Structure 1
């Protein structure tokens, strides 16, 4: 039997009580709309509309989505009928209201939201009982019969709204939860009303069969077209900042190396932080390489770069340094390529959160053992970032590894948010080939797989070579620079070389060990709430 076409939604139209423009409701369940002409926030009561407020203008964020766009999810069609723009200390984000085709089940309120550089579709659901008061960030909580971890607690401001919405948009406290099933839950608290509860999962825009996206006459997206000519004056030196990504919230000026906060429109960036130029990254910004993320080879472009280090608890502790490359794919989102003393790893942020297990955590059927917990900070940045990056940003990191050392997890907490990321080690030769690197590149020879316990012969060779180098260094200690290897590899102005010299002056070893930052805090180091 052929499938029956879904029933059409009953549309209702009335005139805006403020300006007289037509306002249309596609769903009988929607109670609020924002007039597209005068920006009045309207409340529907039966067959009448009343004005209850005024919405600010939508700020230009170059999202490919727009009102009227359509797609499919879990076998059902949907249309984008509304949008709420929210913001907090963690950044700004969009929540797109989706209206699903009518079917045998009553359509639920659905949202397509931004989540740490990716996207999540959430469905609102009723709560049988009031949820408990949220404990601290990172602690467990039970809501709707499920066990969750508190990922963020923020005061979400209302920036603007447009289109058709299930209720009047308001500011309020939002508690974000995550679980071991890869789900994200959200409790939105409103004064005098019960909290709104929703549950979502990560989605890729490429899998939603989206149509009606914002495009130009030439067929390219509005974001692509506008960003070709977009330029913002650097607040430090006045040079043009030309971001390539719609999601970028911070960018480094190529002229003066200042870290600038990007505005939401075309105006001049307001805030900036000066920084030294430093040395160029091993993989140049803008370079594209093919890597398999989540098992699927795709082209990834380096759009951002940051150097980080751990924060020693004691002045005598050794300090570790590592580098993170922010990778971008137009349809897959963002990933991180991390270069540490132990080798390379490729990771992405998780939508859910691992479950506690003996000695560590469990995620997607694999157990991970806790390795280190340490503080970390950002020391140098280049390029663009989808979160508001800051020099000297400080986070608390806990690293985990699978038993064979091939799979990694990291938990980062910064202020009111916890971010989990996961992935695996990557051979240095894979990185070299993927990004077309040629010539000497000493750090690329640090392949983590070479130090697996099963490779005894190679391990012994490495230890023997280390002893030879150590003996040679002792013989030339009085006449040479014991930190010359760091100077040759990273440059005279690098953090590694300066730390080595400082250790020598204080009488400690010049070796910069792996310490607590062995895996290098390879998660996103921030990110937006949604």
Structure 2
């Protein structure tokens, strides 16, 4: 028999196992029994079982049911969770119940490019197009949007109280120039569910009731500290440092390994050569500031070498490096090293507004510079998205007229990711990460890293390292670069056979994928050709 509790709460027995099922909101239409995992549908004072939910996989999230917080002056409670997945990986959508006087507000806290977006459901008076096209403009709810992702989202699991029965289906993500994220969930036989949100920092939500140990440490962090996986390529121990990481390189064999959710065994990996060390060591921390913001300490947690893909054999090929930076409160950013210098960028929540000859973002006009294909050829460290060697993206780069501010648009599969930032002086990077000239033998902006007491011999050493780096990068980006070994040493030589073996193993990717968010697992670092 149903029982009404204080205020809006409502409680009834699970029709499958008899355990109590409590609803914090009388308007909620569905719940998952915490004892038998039955998916329940509420109709008035009656609960009926309509299915079975899979077990929630442990993804080291600090959130849990019952946690509370405040956003824009209003309190909310975390009352439910839906875990979804697609070709981009798996992600959480936490159901938030807001109390706004007589009218309850349904909200969702979702992952987005290694960060979070908090969105509120809203009525939609118009009918959206049935088949939005990726990258196309769309006018909806009085706003001009761009279609940033179109994914078929599978339902992995659910728990707690939900505003409707969770289902698999198509999700369309929209972004606009006001730094907002819109979401359309298409449901068979029902109107699409519409919500609008913005990027948030968990530290700004005044969260209470997070998962903690008796010592006050986050349960997620405590469990994660003891996490260790065996490299599926060589068997060496993998010990990721960040709970957000979805892939990492093995310190022993340098294979790129995709990290599974929870305690599952890692099976997906791609072999790669050892390569040359990055200019800035993995683990080094430096203090940098985005324009108009206070300086923050950023730790290098990942490193990738990338190159463009020439459309013609006579086209010049470009190479660059991207350092993935992490700050506990601000999330992730990218430090990009190109032949034009250094830049500090991060993924955008919104999307710039297209204008003639370029785009406009936050009061600045950006002109289009280059459009090209790009791929990753070598990685080290950890990443919040599943890195796959040889995966290709389409990149469009923009900059302001003075070249100080940069934007980059990357399209891969069903998703478009924007990133933006500003250029940095090489000397600023050197000072931030406490780098000295002997450790920078192949810096692209050599004038800023030069040693005033350097000699001709040192310049020769620098030139030799530059040549070695370019040869390594060109080998990674070219199709078959072994002919010169065959011509020089013969078909049966060790040099030629090693080259052929490396070419065969360097680009393959084996196994499935896991981890992620439809909100973005393109790197978002930007091409910056």
1:99 aligns with 2:88: no
Aligned pair partner of 1:347 in 334, 345, 348? 345
> Equivalences for 1:485-504 in 2 at 5 Å?
487-489=464-466, 491=468, 494-496=471-473
Give the superposed CA RMSD: 2.4
| Residues 108-166 of structure 1: CA deviation (Å, up to 9, x unaligned) | 21000001111101111111121123442111112223211110100000011111100
CA distance in 1 between partners of 2:477 and 2:79 (Å) = 58
Normalising by structure 1, we get a TM-score of: 0.85
Normalising by structure 2, we get a TM-score of: 0.85
Match for residue 512 of structure 1?
Answer: none
CA distance in 2 between partners of 1:200 and 1:500 (Å) = 39
**Structure 1 residue 86, shift from structure 2 partner:** 0.5
1:200 is paired with a residue whose SS is strand
1:279 aligns with 2:276: yes
**Structure 1 residue 289, shift from structure 2 partner:** 1.5
- Do the aligned partners of 2:41 and 2:48 also contact (CA within 8 Å) in 1? yes
Match for residue 446 of structure 1?
Answer: 445
Relative to structure 1, the CA distance from residue 63 to residue 500 in structure 2 (aligned partners, 3 Å threshold; closer, same or farther) is closer
- Do the aligned partners of 2:179 and 2:198 also contact (CA within 8 Å) in 1? yes
Relative to structure 1, the CA distance from residue 398 to residue 332 in structure 2 (aligned partners, 3 Å threshold; closer, same or farther) is same
CA distance in 1 between partners of 2:415 and 2:432 (Å) = 33
Please identify, of 431-440 and 242-251, the stretch whose mean Cα deviation from structure 2 is larger: 431-440
Number of equivalenced pairs: 470
Aligned pair partner of 2:171 in 170, 174, 182? 174
2:12 is paired with a residue whose SS is strand
CA distance in 1 between partners of 2:36 and 2:366 (Å) = 55
CA distance in 2 between partners of 1:353 and 1:102 (Å) = 30
- Do the aligned partners of 2:368 and 2:398 also contact (CA within 8 Å) in 1? yes
The runs of 5 or more residues in structure 1 that have no matched partner are: 1-7, 451-471, 473-482, 506-525
| Residues 43-91 of structure 1: CA deviation (Å, up to 9, x unaligned) | 1111121111111110010011111111110101111110000010011
Relative to structure 1, the CA distance from residue 98 to residue 220 in structure 2 (aligned partners, 3 Å threshold; closer, same or farther) is same
The runs of 5 or more residues in structure 2 that have no matched partner are: 1-5, 450-455, 485-514, 520-529
2:262 is paired with a residue whose SS is coil
> Equivalences for 1:419-498 in 2 at 5 Å?
419-440=417-438, 441-444=440-443, 446=445, 487-489=464-466, 491=468, 494-496=471-473
| Residues 235-288 of structure 1: CA deviation (Å, up to 9, x unaligned) | 111111111111111111111111111111212101111000111111111111
**Structure 1 residue 233, shift from structure 2 partner:** 1.2
Relative to structure 1, the CA distance from residue 398 to residue 337 in structure 2 (aligned partners, 3 Å threshold; closer, same or farther) is same
Relative to structure 1, the CA distance from residue 124 to residue 100 in structure 2 (aligned partners, 3 Å threshold; closer, same or farther) is same
Match for residue 160 of structure 1?
Answer: 157
Relative to structure 1, the CA distance from residue 220 to residue 12 in structure 2 (aligned partners, 3 Å threshold; closer, same or farther) is same
| Residues 315-355 of structure 1: CA deviation (Å, up to 9, x unaligned) | 11111110001111112111111111111101110111000
CA distance in 2 between partners of 1:268 and 1:143 (Å) = 43
**Structure 1 residue 443, shift from structure 2 partner:** 4.8
1:22 aligns with 2:11: no
1:489 is paired with a residue whose SS is helix
Aligned pair partner of 1:258 in 255, 258, 265? 255
CA distance in 2 between partners of 1:490 and 1:336 (Å) = 26
- Do the aligned partners of 2:339 and 2:444 also contact (CA within 8 Å) in 1? no
Match for residue 377 of structure 1?
Answer: 375
CA distance in 2 between partners of 1:303 and 1:213 (Å) = 25
- Do the aligned partners of 2:116 and 2:199 also contact (CA within 8 Å) in 1? yes
Runs of 4+ in 1 over 6 A off after TM superposition: 447-450, 499-502
**Structure 1 residue 493, shift from structure 2 partner:** 7.9
CA distance in 1 between partners of 2:153 and 2:27 (Å) = 24
1:122 aligns with 2:119: yes
Relative to structure 1, the CA distance from residue 218 to residue 500 in structure 2 (aligned partners, 3 Å threshold; closer, same or farther) is closer
Match for residue 321 of structure 1?
Answer: 319
| Residues 24-61 of structure 1: CA deviation (Å, up to 9, x unaligned) | 10011111111111111111111121111111110010
Relative to structure 1, the CA distance from residue 189 to residue 448 in structure 2 (aligned partners, 3 Å threshold; closer, same or farther) is farther
Match for residue 221 of structure 1?
Answer: 218
CA distance in 2 between partners of 1:31 and 1:161 (Å) = 14
Relative to structure 1, the CA distance from residue 55 to residue 448 in structure 2 (aligned partners, 3 Å threshold; closer, same or farther) is farther
Relative to structure 1, the CA distance from residue 81 to residue 499 in structure 2 (aligned partners, 3 Å threshold; closer, same or farther) is closer
- Do the aligned partners of 1:134 and 1:175 also contact (CA within 8 Å) in 2? no
CA distance in 1 between partners of 2:113 and 2:309 (Å) = 25
| Residues 393-427 of structure 1: CA deviation (Å, up to 9, x unaligned) | 10000000011110000000001110000000011
> Equivalences for 1:267-306 in 2 at 5 Å?
267-293=264-290, 295-306=293-304
CA distance in 1 between partners of 2:215 and 2:338 (Å) = 44
Match for residue 133 of structure 1?
Answer: 130
- Do the aligned partners of 2:256 and 2:270 also contact (CA within 8 Å) in 1? yes
| Residues 465-523 of structure 1: CA deviation (Å, up to 9, x unaligned) | xxxxxxx9xxxxxxxxxx98553237468535769998xx9xxxxxxxxxxxxxxxxxx
CA distance in 1 between partners of 2:424 and 2:78 (Å) = 39
- Do the aligned partners of 1:306 and 1:382 also contact (CA within 8 Å) in 2? yes
